[in-house]
Amino acid sequence: MKRVVILISGRGSNMQAILEAKLPVEITAVISNRPEAKGLEIAAQHGIQTVVVDHRKHPSRGQFDAALAEKIDSFQPDLVVLAGFMRILTEDFVNRYQGRLINIHPALLPAFPGLDTHEKALQEGVRIHGCTVHFVTPTVDHGPIISQAAVPVLPSDTPDTLAARVLEQEHLIYPEAIRWFAEGRLHLEQNRVEMNILQASTYSLRSPWSA
């Protein structure tokens, strides 16, 4: 059974979705860079060991990443899952976990990397928005894409309503991607994810759409 460590910074809603999905993995720890992160309480309620590596106690990004990596490695994970972990990681850290470090981003990458993705989507007038699960590379919000989910952007949307609709999809595709990894269905080939998964070839999402 694959061993998984989850990293969080806040409320941990994606972490909670992963825990409640009852995946065929052993979640060995939830680690946060913030001792006040609400997600730590949720993890503890699920019987998961929690750890804090406070970034404010380390004078440099590199020193924090080294301390974080030391703690992660103590759990010997096969996969490290970023679930709302709000830290930019150094190249050395990312390369240490190459091919076994994944993230979810609230946009259809490569569109709208960084913060405020829902505001940006509305400002640009896109008709379809969504989320992306990807392997992490040293370039922020970039890397081989595992899966994506899309939602229509409605004329009445605000950043909050759009974020809520996207978050529902995040909670579906992130556990699914972890399951695929655990089952050996994902393989990195020349910076591209090859998947042993049957997919429908005729489905499409259009927005706007009229019946």
Return the biggest CA–CA distance within the chain.
58
DSSP E strands: which ranges in 93-196? 101-105, 128-135, 145-152, 186-188, 193-195
Of the candidates 55, 105, 118, 171, the residue annotated as catalytic is 105
What does the alpha-carbon distance between residue 134 and residue 142 come to, in Å, rounded to a whole number?
Answer: 8
What does the alpha-carbon distance between residue 10 and residue 35 come to, in Å, rounded to a whole number?
Answer: 9
Pair of tokens at residue 71: 């703690």
What does the alpha-carbon distance between residue 126 and residue 181 come to, in Å, rounded to a whole number?
Answer: 31
Name the packing angle between helices 117-124 and 159-182 (round to 10°): 120
Catalytic residue check, 105 = yes
Question: Catalytic residue numbers?
Answer: 105
